[in-house]
Amino acid sequence: MSNKSSRRDFLNLSMTGALGAIFLSQYGYKKASSVLVPDPKKFGLALQLYTIRDAMQTDVAGSLKLVSDIGYKYIELAGYANRKFYGMNPTDFKKLVNDLGMDILSSHTQVEAKGITPDNAKIMAEDHALLGAKYCIQPWVNAEDRKSISNYQKMVADWNFVGKIMKETSIQFGYHNHNFEFATVEGKIPFYDVYMVEMDKDLVTIELDLFWATKAGQNPVEIFKKYPGRFQLFHLKDMYMQEAPFYSTDNVTDFAPVGEGLIHFKEILAAKDLAGMKYMIVEQDATKDGKPFDAIRTSIGNLTNRILD
């Protein structure tokens, strides 16, 4: 996910009241010209719902039906607040998704740097267990919390703690990277010198975002070689521009559907067993034309027809 100011607000959004039906065409959905395989669901691909966040705020059921119709088997959520997911209690949301022929793979849930109590961690674990999620992912580190190595170390300690509680309910906790973790802080690189050293590999897996790692000048395959088995989830998103490494998510706009940009997905996915990858999740933070449903159809078409064949 990207970090625009709405990013944190979106994670904290609590939707209440009835959610009315909408004309989803206003979000740019149309049948794309790419030819899909007869049953894209057999590939077991997931969609991060942040990609269609505007539609999800307005019409949850209609948006999810389109996601299923396009061919995604799993979804990853980005709307947990006040013990509800997109304004629904966990069991009701799970039933809605299952009735549409999909399963809930994961949920992005913020654990703030100020810390978490045992009670809060247990509530979070309980809600995600009721949801039926396999993973719960920490998706973000606020800018003010990235200024010292000690802050990173405290957060990792908290994530290990949450991971232990999640494990007790058969949920794997994890962390989703951006590019800023690869910047130098007090002479160290948090991703390598804190995360990969101090995260308990059994309690916290990495959801590697291939776009952001590439923007930071990292080669995902080389990361897998250094830390095999640590990356159970991949975020698949593509980019239009090749740039010198940078470490801020501000004003980044060159997000592309998977297979439409410059990232060498076949090369990366050839190392999936070394990485320990179990699931692939499509995400596109923004589209140039404001048509996210077209973009997710293009992504799954490219994956099933060209990249995963």
| Segment-wise mean pLDDT, segments of 10 residues, the chain, 309 residues | 46 37 47 58 97 98 98 97 96 98 95 77 96 97 94 95 96 98 98 98 98 98 98 98 97 97 98 98 97 98 94
Number of separate domains in the chain: 1
Phi-psi category of residue 215: left, alpha or beta, with phi > 0 → left and psi -120 to 50 → alpha: alpha
Q: Report the chain's C-alpha Rg in angstroms.
A: 18
- CATH number, residue 51: 3.20.20.150
Question: Distance from CA of residue 84 to its chain's centroid?
Answer: 18
Distances in Å between the alpha carbon of 273 and those of 171, 223, 228, 248, 309?
Answer: 21, 13, 9, 30, 17
Domain residues for the domain of 207 are: 5-307
Residue 38 pLDDT = 67
